[in-house]
Amino acid sequence: MISGSVFFTAFGWCGVVAGEKGLKRLILPLRSKSRVVTLLAVPTPEKNDLLILAEKIIKAYFRGKKVSLDLPLDCSGFSPFQEDVYAVTRMIPYGRVKTYGEIAREMERPGASRAVGFALGLNPLPLLIPCHRVIREDGRLGGFSSPEGTVMKARLLHLEGVILKNV
């Protein structure tokens, strides 16, 4: 059964969806609750224990608390390449960054930095799969598929204490 939750954080309204196996989707903070509800696309939101825990942890994160985002995820529908990219990305510690190239090299696919970026652009669970911690080789932000784009990426990195020189 699919269930969802919409909640307010220090950065704005968020939404999260859970399936039988874990969390399936996260909407990063937006100003409009109705936009989050629309993007969430869950017909009858109702909270379960996993959603309640996720909401608590995500709210704490946006208050600047260093929390573990190691929640169960539902990775069904991911390609094997996406699974590999997301597994390496989940290992990036709070307050640290890696480049798209470093992710590719850790996957033993040194020429796949663009493919890594593409896979991260499809990430349905930003923050939980912390794609905001992945930057370009030249130290610039790179892309970010959140509705707020690279502005949100920069805010998340700043929240974690990361200061980029080439922004």
| Angle ∠(84,160,164) on CA atoms, nearest 5 | 85
Q: Residue 64 CA to chain centroid, in angstroms? A: 16
**What is the model's pLDDT at position 43?**
64
**What is the model's pLDDT at position 61?**
97
Domain count within the chain = 2
Question: Which range marks the domain in which residue 26 is found?
Answer: 3-62
Is there a single domain that holds both residue 36 and residue 93?
no
Residue 102 lies in a domain: yes
75 in active site? no
Supply the pTM of this predicted model.
0.92
Is there a single domain that holds both residue 84 and residue 56?
no
Which residue in 16, 120, 129, 131 is the catalytic one?
A: 131
Is there a single domain that holds both residue 95 and residue 143?
yes
**What is the model's pLDDT at position 148?**
85
Distance CA(62)–CA(29), nearest Å, equals 9
Is there a single domain that holds both residue 58 and residue 110?
no
Single out the residue of 156, 117, 139 nearest to residue 29, CA to CA: 156
Residue 164 lies in a domain: no
Is there a single domain that holds both residue 48 and residue 12?
yes
Is there a single domain that holds both residue 96 and residue 155?
yes
In this prediction, the residues of the chain whose per-residue pLDDT falls under 50 are: none
**What is the model's pLDDT at position 1?**
79
